Amino acid sequence: MTVVVKLGGSVVTDKSAPETVAEDVLADLAAAIGDADLSDLVVVHGAGSFGHPVAAEHGASSTAGTRDPAAVRDISGVMERLNDAVVGALADAGVPAVPVHPCSASHRTEDGTLQFPTDALEAMLGEGFVPVLHGDVITHAGEGATILSGDEIVTHVADDFDADRVGICSTVPGVFDEDGDVVPEITDYDDVAAALGESAATDVTGGMAAKVRALLDLGAPAFVFGPDALAAFLAGEDAGTRIEG
């Protein structure tokens, strides 16, 4: 059973302090992953207080590119440092984690289509490793380099591997409705459109609306949940909000 799980950048870092790992939280999440002992697991993590400030400083986003090689080095370098911390925490918890840096393995075509072969990830899984990917800066034909988000990596890998389950570990316990309560299940965007916003413009800035739209397009059940529910998700239980189109 292939499982793809994302550890949100706001979960594994302190977003109020630049380049600061939330060490205790990360250790707890790593322990939960270690205890689960899944055979085919891919981990993705976000950028948090590492990548976002540096990308903003250089004016780079998922749509705005940079041709400054120093910017690419800065963004890629800070994300590699965060990845080192995540991989290290997982290794300390007994997880056979290995780093995968999208900057060196993917690119976008001129129309923005992501090209990210997953053969190497498949080989890693076959040898018992747990690939750990992250949001990154990647070459974008005609734009220089743009940002590849962790959320896009999750859906790309899950789709390529025909994943059985997908989990998004966020700072919130699930997708909220208009009253601030967690929605137990979403099968259509209209279920939560009033709470998340109906316009495509909402997706441009990311956030929960973009996550829900992308996860609905997957053929696998996906879940959005808080850190306390990671163990339940890894055990095969429903956690937070179940999203399945």
Which residue numbers belong to the known binding site for substrate?
A: 47, 52, 150
Residue 77: CB atoms within 10 Å: 13
Annotated binding site: 6-10, 47-48, 52, 150, 207, 211
Residues 6+ apart with CB under 8 A from 145: 60, 65, 66, 67, 71, 72, 137, 138, 139
Annotated binding site for ATP: 6-10, 48, 207, 211
**7 to 87, 90, 96, 104, 152: CA distances (angstroms):** 12, 12, 17, 21, 13
Burial call 128-159: b when 16+ CB within 10 Å, e when fewer: ebbbbbbbbbbbbeebbbbbbbbbbbbbbbbb
CA distance 52 to 75: 9
Q: 45 near 7, Cβ under 8 Å?
A: yes
Rounded to 5 degrees, what are φ and ψ at 26?
-60, -40
Q: 113 near 142, Cβ under 8 Å?
A: no
Q: Which two tokens stand for residue 244?
A: 């399945």
